[in-house]
Structure 1
Amino acid sequence: MTTKKPPIWYWIVGVVALIWNAMGVNAYLQQAYNTESYRAMYSKEQLEIAANLPSFVTAAFALAVFGGALASLLLLFRKKLAVMLFYVSLIAVVIQMGYLLINGYASSIPMTIMIILFAVVLAWFSKYSATKGYLN
């Protein structure tokens, strides 16, 4: 099976996806290691909430960002596995952000919704790229 050469905007979306997910990985690692810069960004109440989140929410956070980062790399390498990983990342994002929204823990509702929408767009884009023949 041969693949089509993707247009320039494909590469732009791929790089933006990688940068976005790398920022997510950074946020996860800062939270996981409880860095000084992480603690400086949030109030004591917000830090207490984050420290007491259920483990499945933290696991969803990790799966969302690491899965999204790996999917972004695979997208840049034009591999079909990117599609599945973007969908796994999307499911994890919905679990994590859904929990935060339902329980009133989202510090910024517009940002929370944007994260969900970005995950939807990346999952759709990867599927679209596969159907266009850009992935092998």
Structure 2
Amino acid sequence: MTTSTKPPIWFWIISVIGLIWNGMGVMNYLQQAYRTEGFLEQVTPEQLAILDARPAWATALFAIAVFTGVLGCILLIFRKKFASPLLMISLLGAIITQIWWFTTDGPSISEESGGTIIPILVIVFALLLVWMARKGVSKSWLT
């Protein structure tokens, strides 16, 4: 039987920021999926054409990445070690989705809205969350 130890304050801060970050990803996904008025006002016709041409697998991986990211961060907050595999799935979905984005004209036509920076931040933050979950398991912060 393992005993749980209390995580440091930075663990909680990153967990909550991760939840907010992935929550924004869910909002972005839902806005794209339902073509909300706010979303359509934010994208150019060129960006919309790229998104319309996106293969179904890329859309599915985007959804998997953000929804497992939210669930993984919730489990981090509740100190559950199942957060680790969920965040790994989120990372893999994010990496593959961002590879697809970089192989399109996406970054060049969306430079004013973080065309290169945001996709890189997505991967870096997903990596950070996976690292933190694994550290949480190894330090017995997560049970």
When normalised by structure 1's length, the TM-score is 0.96
Please say if 1:116 is aligned against 2:117: no
Greater shift after overlay, 6-15 or 19-28? 6-15
Residues 84-103 of structure 1: CA distance to partner in whole angstroms, max 9, x if unpaired? Answer: 00000000001100011122
Q: Which residue of 2 aligns with 1:29?
A: 30
Q: Secondary structure at the match of 2:142?
A: coil
Q: Distance in 1 between matches of 2:105 and 2:87?
A: 26
Matches within 5 A, 1:41-80: 41-80=42-81
Task: Identify unmatched segments of 5+ residues in structure 2.
Answer: none
RMSD: 0.9
Q: Secondary structure at the match of 2:125?
A: helix
Residues 17-50 of structure 1: CA distance to partner in whole angstroms, max 9, x if unpaired? Answer: 1000000000000000000000011101111111
2:50/2:105 contact within 8 Å kept: no
2:29/2:62 contact within 8 Å kept: yes
**Number of residue pairs aligned between Structure 1 and Structure 2:** 136
Please say if 1:126 is aligned against 2:127: no
Task: Identify unmatched segments of 5+ residues in structure 1.
Answer: none
Q: Distance in 1 between matches of 2:6 and 2:130?
A: 20
Q: Which residue of 1 aligns with 2:21?
A: 20
List, as ranges, runs of 4+ consecutive aligned residues in structure 1 with deviation greater than 4 Å: none
Matches within 5 A, 1:69-108: 69-106=70-107, 107=110, 108=115
Q: Deviation of residue 10 (structure 1)? A: 1.1
The residue type paired with residue 14 of structure 2 is: V
Q: Distance in 2 between matches of 1:62 and 1:36?
A: 20
The residue type paired with residue 73 of structure 1 is: I
Greater shift after overlay, 97-106 or 123-132? 97-106
Greater shift after overlay, 115-124 or 81-90? 115-124
Question: What percent of counterpart residues are identical?
Answer: 43
Q: Deviation of residue 125 (structure 1)? A: 0.9
